[in-house]
Amino acid sequence: MARILWGYVRRHRSGLLSAALMVGILFVVFYLYAPPWEAMLYGLLLCTAALLMVHAVGLYRYRKRHRRLEALCRRTEWEPGELPEAEDLLEEDFARLYESLSDAYRKLETDARISHTEAADYYTMWVHQIKTPIAAMKLLLQSEADGGNSAVQAELFKIEQYAEMALQYQRLEGDGTDYVLRRCPLDDIVCQAVRKYARLFVLKRLQLHYDPLNVTVLTDEKWLGFVIEQLLSNALKYTKSGGISLYMRDPGHLVIEDTGIGIAPEDLPRLCERGFTGINGRLDKKATGLGLYLCRRILHKLSHTITLESTVGKGTRVILGLESAELRVE
């Protein structure tokens, strides 16, 4: 209240000084003409009461406007018409200035949204278009007598995976991401991902340790499948010998474990940040830093969790918590 009172005094200081000056003039007049003290006291009381009433009403209105502006400040969006009505020319100037700035901001926001939508549409179209020649090249390689060069097929597969990652990234950043939550057999999702990378297992001569999981989870089959594919891709990339294991550690937790080069302890806390590649990524010089970032984003939206454990030189263990939190609506 003291802050409001001080603000009111500062805003009406000229009027208050004028009132004080008038009271001083009255004292001088009374002193010079020496009227009866009763009349002088009566006049002063009337003037004081009138001034108090005027400023009490003014203070009430000032406090009411202040509270209304405070309420608007606590909101993230509001229209210029919700501002208190201007009481003088200066307030009208400020209101017009705010309205012009608000219009300019809305125009910039609309232009940025349109530009973002157009860019998203272009990149989505580009990814879909690039997948067509990739599929044609795969068919041409498979039609050769010896099945085509295995190394060429492996590189072509990588190109396809990068294109798919770009497409999923664009979908995830958009406003209309489609999630269809239902109870899904986890074995179906895992087997589909494993089949996709079967050729790389053979080329790198890595073992796959996988037994039926016999578990159903509440999830989106397409998006969880993409996450498992990304994790398998990382495991295959950094595993030179040994193998990869997929198993349930306890109800609701899927583990993807490899015998690869491992991850430095200082890199573990930041691996799911966008663009962070860590020591392994810098040595590889081909990492994008998007794979685990996308996995974390997708799992968060599905109300799942991801935990990484690793020992340098021994391997990495990725734990997906598939029923550890309540579903969030965003």
Per the structure, the complete domain to which residue 58 belongs is given by: 2-75
Same domain, 272 and 153: no
212 domain-assigned: yes
pLDDT in tens, 272-287: 887 777 776 666 655 6
Number of domains, the chain: 3
Return the pLDDT at 329.
Answer: 42
Helix (H, G, I), strand (E, B) or coil at 180: coil
Residue scoring higher pLDDT (31 or 298): 298
83 domain-assigned: no
Residue labelled with tokens 């067509």? 132
Closest Cα partner for 239 from 176, 166, 165, 318? 318
Cβ atoms of 213 and 190 within 8 Å: the answer is yes
Same domain, 153 and 193: no
Residue scoring higher pLDDT (227 or 27): 227
pLDDT at position 323 over 70? yes
Rounded Cα distance between 154 and 156, Å, is: 5
pLDDT in tens, 57-111: 888 887 887 787 777 777 766 666 667 777 777 677 777 787 788 888 888 888 8
- Entry field: residues in the chain: 330
Same domain, 208 and 69: no
Work out whether strand 315-321 and strand 305-311 pair parallel, antiparallel, or are unpaired.
Answer: antiparallel
Residue scoring higher pLDDT (175 or 36): 36
Alpha helix positions (H), the chain: 2-11, 13-33, 37-73, 89-143, 150-173, 186-196, 198-204, 221-237, 278-284, 291-301
Phi, psi for residue 258 in degrees, rounded to 5: -130, 170
pLDDT in tens, 235-277: 998 899 999 999 998 878 999 999 999 998 888 888 888 777 7
Buried b (16+ CB within 10 A) or exposed e, 254-284: bbbbbbbbbbeeebeeebbeeebbbebbeee
Same domain, 167 and 201: no
The pTM of the full predicted model, rounded to 2 decimals, is 0.59
Return the pLDDT at 76.
Answer: 64
pLDDT at position 173 over 70? no
Contacts of 164 (CB under 8 A, 6+ apart): 127, 131, 226
Rounded Cα distance between 318 and 35, Å, is: 97
pLDDT in tens, 100-149: 888 888 888 888 888 777 777 766 677 767 777 777 777 767 766 555 56
Return the pLDDT at 133.
Answer: 74
Of 193-197, 237-241, 310-314, 326-330, which range is least confident?
A: 326-330
Question: In this structure, which amino acid lies at residue 50?
Answer: A
99 domain-assigned: no
Return the pLDDT at 237.
Answer: 87
Same domain, 271 and 137: no
Rounded Cα distance between 280 and 254, Å, is: 24
Picking from 155, 177, 199, the residue at the C-terminal end of a domain is 177
Relative orientation angle of helices 150-173 and 221-237, to the nearest 10 degrees: 140
107 domain-assigned: no
Relative orientation angle of helices 186-196 and 221-237, to the nearest 10 degrees: 40
Phi, psi for residue 96 in degrees, rounded to 5: -65, -40
